Amino acid sequence: MESRYVVSLKKTDEGYSVWAPGLPGCASQGDTEDEALANIADAIREYLDVVDELAAEADRREVTVMR
């Protein structure tokens, strides 16, 4: 399954810092922009694997949110 996530990218003295604002604590870095984006894609996959593991251990419910 393919999903898209918005990420924020910032050039630093060491390269690039990147994080997924919608996934608290999900961040990475790289020497180049391409490397940082590849690394955050890996980090998002790993983050979602952990979310799935934790969710499997709990009762699930759905809620509707109006904005």
Residue 50 lies in a domain: yes
Residues 6+ apart with CB under 8 A from 7: 18, 19, 20, 21, 37, 40
- Give 4-23 pLDDT, tens digit per residue: 999 999 999 999 999 999 99
For residue 27 the two structure tokens come to: 């961040």
**DSSP single-letter state for residue 31:** S
- Residue 1 domain-assigned (yes or no): no
- The token pair at 7 is 């990420």
Residue-level pLDDT at 31: 98
Please give the tally of structural domains in the chain.
1
In a domain, 66, yes or no: no
Q: Which range of residues forms the domain containing residue 16?
A: 8-56
Put simply, whether the predicted model's pTM sits higher than 0.75 gets the answer yes
Number of Cβ within 10 Å of residue 3's Cβ equals: 7
Q: Indicate whether 30 belongs to any domain.
A: yes
- Which token pair is 55? 């969710």
- Does residue 61 lie in a domain region? no
